[in-house]
Amino acid sequence: GAGVSQSPSNKVTEKGKDVELRCDPISGHTALYWYRQSLGQGLEFLIYFQGNSAPDKSGLPSDRFSAERTGGSVSTLTIQRTQQEDSAVYLCASSPTWAGHQETQYFGPGTRLLVL
């Protein structure tokens, strides 16, 4: 079946502009995650959605970052007033949940963001 998809695959933007990154999780997966992969910091957790519960935003690095998940499916990560240090690969993952336990997270191919 289809895996996690992300768009765009690459994004180049100018410092100060806003960007939106999209994630389509695997159908039926109730949990959705955003991570960031950068050379200096490795893989960092950003935000986690589980069903209709309030998201866990504890990993967001600043208030310029926000995310929403509409209808329990597609998610958009928005970065406002981008800075050069936001340049990274943004990864989305989804997982099914069974009896309250999370199963394996499946990752998308990522969006490579470059802020000039």
Partner 1 sequence: GNSVTQMEGPVTLSEEAFLTINCTYTATGYPSLFWYVQYPGEGLQLLLKATKADDKGSNKGFEATYRKETTSFHLEKGSVQVSDSAVYFCALLHGGSQGNLIFGKGTKLSVKP
Residue numbers of the site for partner 1 (CB under 8 A)? 31, 33, 35, 42-43, 45, 48, 50, 56, 59, 91, 93, 97, 100-102, 104-110
Q: Please give the structure tokens belonging to residue 45.
A: 């957790």
Q: 75 and 57 in contact (C-beta within 8 Å)?
A: no
Which C-beta is closer to partner 1: that of 7 or that of 102? 102
Which C-beta is closer to partner 1: that of 27 or that of 98? 98
Which C-beta is closer to partner 1: that of 30 or that of 82? 30
Least separation in angstroms between CB 101 and partner 1 = 4
Distances (CA, A) of 43 to 48, 64, 101: 14, 19, 23
